[in-house]
Amino acid sequence: MAEGDRSPGASIEVEVLRYRPEQDSEPFYQSFTVPYAEDLSVLQALQHIKDDLDSTLSFRWSCRMAICGSCGLMINGIPKLGCRTFLREYYPGRVRVGPLNHFPIERDLVVDIEDFVGKLEKIHPYIIPREPRTLDQGEYLQTPRQLQRYLQFSNCINCTLCYAACPQYGLDPAFLGPGITALLHRYNADSRDGGQAKRAAIMHAEDGVWGCTAVSYCSEVCPKAVDPANAINQNKMASAMDYFLRFVKPGGARK
Amino acid sequence: MSAETRTMGKRRPYRRAMDGWWTRNPFFVRYMIREWTAVLVAAYALVLLVGAVRLAQGEAAYSAWFESMKSPFALAFHWVTLAVFLYHTWSWFEIMPRTMPAIFVGGKRLARGVITAAGIAAALACCAIVLALALGGGR
């Protein structure tokens, strides 16, 4: 850290939503005064609180460089990664930190994402080869154009910010939601994959792409420019085609 | 210890209420306005449909409907509807890039702004053609 970055004695107020299930009936905000520097992230502020002010504070983090997807938080009401959101964006105002919206609060800033993980397991999130190949036949080749069809969707880090941004998920947790649909589309759109039929029932369901009302805030908050709203809405078209084409395909309606 | 106590322990997950969710973020307010403009768009479609029905009933019926469209209330309704339509059109094309597969031109992905601008330009062109036909037909 450069010496000039820190004005000596400067501090910033950080309000943190606390919830300790064994003693609190509901969450409440607790205020902490944290030393301020231009290059300190919100995650570092939380670490300062835990190390020096209140060791009972719970929050998730791991990599500190926006790739593990662990430190998703509501920061002044917006879903963001704590590690790539800096105190300087709010200084001298206060920062208000809460657990991600729309998920049950487990403790303090830790939310229960079991629902997300369960949905992830259901969509066959891996390549199901379109045609089996032996090692002698070599690798599966792909053109740059074929790569472009799914590349952005493969950048998802499972941080669940998009779920905290999606009011439809908040209103009905049965909705498959933005991130999982983006991942589903990532495999469906891969030229090497042949697992579309296995993922079809989940995607075409009412709780699948049709649960989306194109609020599209998911794509605004995504730290990796995955654009889940795009994945969902492309598949609304695919889902509608799949439904109507049954009636014109020979023997299709009997399926 | 039963399986349930073992897994739950002192867990007591807290679910937050969704009441007033759309008032908490300006982005959601704009979304709600976009959705509500659709109601007025549908209402105006009904107005035009009534006009078509009156036209089928003969000249007198159509003329009466046409005169009723000149009342101060009807004129105010038209101005409000026009403003709402403009916002609706913009918001529609603003999310259009999110609803379609990526378009590649010369190996490069077409930017969102270009798709939005093209949509708005197409809407303006359609309006100009309809207006020209209507004004030309009136002569």
List the CATH number of the domain containing A63. Answer: 3.10.20.30
Cβ neighbours around B139 below 10 Å, total: 4
Provide the 3-class DSSP secondary structure of residue A186: helix
Which whole number is the average pLDDT over B34-46? 93
Sign of torsion over alpha carbons B84, B90, B95, B96 = positive
- Yes or no: say if B33 and A44 are a contact pair by the CB < 8 Å rule: no
Please give the distance of CA B77 from its chain centroid, rounded to a whole number. Answer: 17
pLDDT of residue B139: 57
pLDDT in tens, A192-231: 999 999 999 999 999 999 999 999 999 999 999 999 999 9
Domain boundary among A111, A132, A155: A111
Whether residues A226 and A128 fall in one domain: yes
Q: Which of A160, A79, A72 is nearest to A114 (CA)?
A: A160
- Yes or no: say if A83 and A144 are a contact pair by the CB < 8 Å rule: no
CA distances for A68 relative to A34, A117, A209, A220, B10, angstroms: 25, 15, 26, 19, 28
CATH of the domain at B36: 1.20.1300.10
Binned at pLDDT 50, 70 and 90, residue B8 comes out as low
How far is A179 from A50, CA to CA, in rounded Å? 30
pLDDT of residue A253: 53
How far is A131 from A140, CA to CA, in rounded Å? 10
Provide the 3-class DSSP secondary structure of residue A173: coil
Provide the 3-class DSSP secondary structure of residue B105: strand
pLDDT of residue A243: 84
- The residues, ordered by sequence, that sit 6+ positions from A50 with a Cβ below 8 Å of its Cβ are A57, A59
Task: Give me the residue from A27, A145, A229 closest to B98, CB to CB.
Answer: A229
> Does a structural domain hold residue B85?
yes
Range of the domain at A33: 3-111
CATH of the domain at A133: 1.10.1060.10
pLDDT of residue A242: 83
pLDDT of residue A76: 97
- Yes or no: say if A85 and A94 are a contact pair by the CB < 8 Å rule: no
Q: Which of B79, B115, B78 is nearest to B100 (CA)?
A: B115
Q: Return the bridge partners of A107, or none.
A: A110
Binned at pLDDT 50, 70 and 90, residue B103 comes out as confident
pLDDT of residue B54: 94
pLDDT of residue A255: 47
Tell me which residues of chain A have a pLDDT lower than 70.
Answer: 1-7, 251-255
Whether residues A139 and A238 fall in one domain: yes
> Is-cis flag, bond preceding B97, omega within 30?
no
Whether residues A47 and A74 fall in one domain: yes
Domain boundary among A111, A141, A156: A111
> Does a structural domain hold residue B52?
yes
Range of the domain at B42: 21-100+108-138
- Yes or no: say if A162 and A72 are a contact pair by the CB < 8 Å rule: no
pLDDT in tens, B18-30: 999 999 999 999 9
pLDDT exceeding 90 applies to what percent of chain B? Answer: 74
> Does a structural domain hold residue B15?
no
Whether residues A155 and A233 fall in one domain: yes
Measured at the CA of B101, the angle between CA B28 and CA B89, to 5 degrees, comes to 45
When divided into structural domains, chain A yields a total of 2
When divided into structural domains, chain B yields a total of 1
Whether residues A85 and A137 fall in one domain: no
CA distances for A102 relative to A58, A198, A217, A227, A232, angstroms: 18, 28, 14, 19, 19
Task: Give me the residue from A22, A77, A104 closest to B14, CB to CB.
Answer: A104
User: Is this complex scored with an ipTM above 0.90?
Assistant: no
B3 pLDDT above the threshold of 60? no
What is the distance in angstroms between the Cα of B11 and the nearest Cα belonging to chain A?
A: 6
Query: Token pair of A40, please?
Result: 């300190």
Most B-contacting residue of A24, A216, A239, A241 (CB-CB within 10 A), to test interface: A216
Whether residues A46 and A146 fall in one domain: no
What is the distance in angstroms between the Cα of A22 and the nearest Cα belonging to chain B?
A: 6
| Residue A14 main-chain phi, psi, to 5 deg | -120, 120
Length of chain A equals: 255
- The residues, ordered by sequence, that sit 6+ positions from A4 with a Cβ below 8 Å of its Cβ are none
| Residue A15 main-chain phi, psi, to 5 deg | -100, 130
> Does a structural domain hold residue B58?
yes
What residues of chain B have any CB closer than 8 angstroms to a CB in chain A? 10-16, 18, 21-22, 24-25, 27-28, 31, 35, 95, 97-102, 104, 107, 109
Whether residues A118 and A213 fall in one domain: yes
Task: Give me the residue from B11, B27, B35 closest to A220, CB to CB.
Answer: B27
